[in-house]
Structures are given as structure tokens and as C-alpha cells.
């Protein structure tokens, strides 16, 4: 059930991506195939991130380094050099301590090396914030519109305002009584409030009262059994084992 729901929620996003790429119509089988590929790719990223998190620091909470390594494993980040080439470059290049601090030479060299090490990450960020993804956000209704609005604070508020996405619009369309009441307690709405469950047909009025009553009955039954065992042990004297017959007993001679 959860897998079908996740697939249904992923389909509109795939449709927006296809529309942004110029495909305004597609067969249902094509949309299902692309959605399945996207779901498998996100699952691969999550699995590799969890693997690197447990391997690097034995913790389920990943760091930015774990995510970067997972993106590299999935082929999203392509490093310019292999691990061996980076190791040899680090060994052969001049240490930072050998650069003089005058005129900021050491600081400039440090910045240059940082730019080289994070070149793939910066390219990925440029792609995310590039025109292709802006077109996807525009089609999905998530693009921020700063052209409309007034001046001063009103213009800044309008610039930071985000349009309603397709899912919110769809929920409002199919919910006449309001989103909170229709989708409450589901993944599409707000969490449900915990309410006590009343039990009908018995003295206890809630689950907690029933658990307490059951535990008290079990404790009373265990106490009664222990008292019976103690009284039986002290009331009767222990019996001695029967004496073994000796060899040559005249009573044991067959007639």
C-alpha cells in the first residue's frame, strides 16, 4: 500500500520533468518506466548514504561527506581524478607550510586547493540552480514570482512568496470540508490527535485501566499460587525413601 502511494505521488513530478524537457505527451507505460527508474535511483542514493554513514562513523545520521560519497557512487558527482591520483598529488605537491604568509600567499593557495577539491560539488550546485531546474519549478508552480507586488516590504514579501504546488491545489480541489479534516492522520495531512479509546461493556473505561486491572489479577493469582505451595510444603512431613532389600533376605526367597 505504501509503495503504491509513493509511486502515485512520484508520477506528477515525473510528468513535470518531462514537460520541462519538451515532452508534452507520453504513454502511461513510459511514465511508469521513468517513475520506476527515478524511484530506484533515489533508493540507491539512500542505501549508499546509509552504507557510508555506518562505515565511516558507525551512526545512522549521515554527514555531508557521506552524501557526497553516495552521489559519487551513483555517478552524479564525477571526480576529475581517481583516488590514487589524488593521493599522489597530495604527496607530491608543495606543503602549505612552505608558502609564506606575507601578502596572503598561503591563504590564496589554500583557497585555490579548496576550489579544486570541490569542483564537482560546485558543478552540481550550478546544475541544480540552473535554467533546467528553474523550468521544472515553473511548470510545477513552485517558482518564486518577484515581478508582481508593491514596493519595499510588500515587494520583498512577494519575492519570497511561493506559489501553491500541484499537490496542495489537488488536495484543496478534492476536499470540500478543508484539508485538515479530510487528510488528518495521513501522510498528506497533519498528524492526528491522540484520543483515549473507551471500552464498552465492562468496568474499565480505557486501555490503561484494562492493562492495570489485568496486571493486578495476574499478581494476585501468582501470590495465591505461592501461598498454596508454601502451605503444602510445611503441612506434610517429607517421606523417607524405601529401604533397599539386602541380598539373602529370607522374605525374598521364592516358594
8 in a structural domain = yes
Least confident of 28-32, 77-81, 118-122: 77-81
Give the C-alpha separation, 143 to 160, whole Å.
10
Q: Alpha-carbon torsion 206, 212, 213, 215, what sign? A: positive
37 in a structural domain = yes
Give residue 212's domain range: 194-224
Q: Enumerate the β-bridge partners of residue 206.
A: 198
Domain C-terminal end among 57, 77, 97:
77
111 in a structural domain = no
What pLDDT shows up at residue 50?
A: 94
Selection from 4, 54, 47, 12 nearest residue 31 by Cα: 12
250 in a structural domain = no
7 in a structural domain = yes
Higher pLDDT, 241 or 64: 64
Higher pLDDT, 156 or 105: 105
31 in a structural domain = yes
139 in a structural domain = no
Give the C-alpha separation, 30 to 106, whole Å.
55
Domain count, the chain: 2
pLDDT digits (tens, 9 = 90+) for 134-170: 888 888 777 765 444 444 445 455 555 556 777 777 7
Least confident of 132-141, 203-212, 220-229, 234-243: 234-243
Q: Which three cell numbers stand for residue 138?
A: 515553473
What pLDDT shows up at residue 150?
A: 46
Selection from 8, 6, 93 nearest residue 43 by Cα: 6
Name the range with the highest mean pLDDT among 36-50, 148-162, 164-178.
36-50
Domain C-terminal end among 42, 77, 112:
77
202 in a structural domain = yes
For residue 59, the domain's CATH number is 1.10.20.10
Task: State pTM to two decimals.
Answer: 0.56
What DSSP string describes 44-113? HHHHHHHHHHHHHHS-SS--HHHHHHHHHHTTSS--SS-HHHHHHHHHHSPPGGGS--GGGHHHHHHHHH
Count of all residues that appear for the chain in the document: 255
Amino acid at each position: 500500500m505504501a509503495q503504491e502511494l509513493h509511486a502515485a505521488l512520484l508520477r506528477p513530478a515525473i510528468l513535470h520533468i518531462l514537460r520541462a524537457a519538451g515532452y508534452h505527451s507520453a504513454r502511461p507505460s513510459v511514465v511508469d518506466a521513468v517513475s520506476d527508474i527515478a524511484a530506484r535511483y533515489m533508493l540507491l542514493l539512500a542505501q549508499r548514504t546509509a552504507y557510508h554513514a555506518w562505515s565511516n562513523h558507525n551512526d545512522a545520521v549521515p554527514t555531508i561527506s557521506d552524501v557526497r560519497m553516495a552521489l559519487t557512487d551513483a555517478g552524479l558527482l564525477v571526480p576529475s581524478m581517481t583516488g590514487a591520483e589524488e593521493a599522489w598529488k597530495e604527496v607530491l605537491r608543495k606543503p602549505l607550510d612552505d608558502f609564506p604568509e606575507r601578502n596572503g600567499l598561503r591563504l590564496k593557495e589554500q583557497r585555490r586547493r579548496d576550489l579544486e577539491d570541490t569542483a564537482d560539488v560546485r558543478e552540481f550546485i550550478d546544475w541544480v540552480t540552473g535554467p533546467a531546474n528553474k523550468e521544472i519549478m515553473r511548470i510545477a508552480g513552485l517558482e518564486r514570482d518577484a515581478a508582481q507586488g508593491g514596493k519595499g516590504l510588500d515587494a520583498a514579501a512577494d519575492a519570497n512568496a511561493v506559489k501553491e504546488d500541484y499537490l496542495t491545489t489537488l488536495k484543496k480541489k478534492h476536499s470540500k470540508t478543508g484539508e485538515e479534516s479530510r487528510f488528518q492522520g495521513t501522510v498528506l495531512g497533519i498528524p492526528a490527535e491522540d484520543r483515549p479509546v473507551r471500552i464498552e461493556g465492562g468496568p474499565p473505561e480505557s486501555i490503561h485501566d484494562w492493562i492495570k486491572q489485568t496486571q493486578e489479577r495476574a499478581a494476585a493469582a501468582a501470590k495465591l499460587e505461592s501461598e498454596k505451595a508454601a502451605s503444602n510444603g510445611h503441612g506434610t512431613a517429607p517421606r523417607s525413601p524405601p529401604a533397599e532389600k539386602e541380598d539373602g533376605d529370607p522374605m525374598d526367597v521364592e516358594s
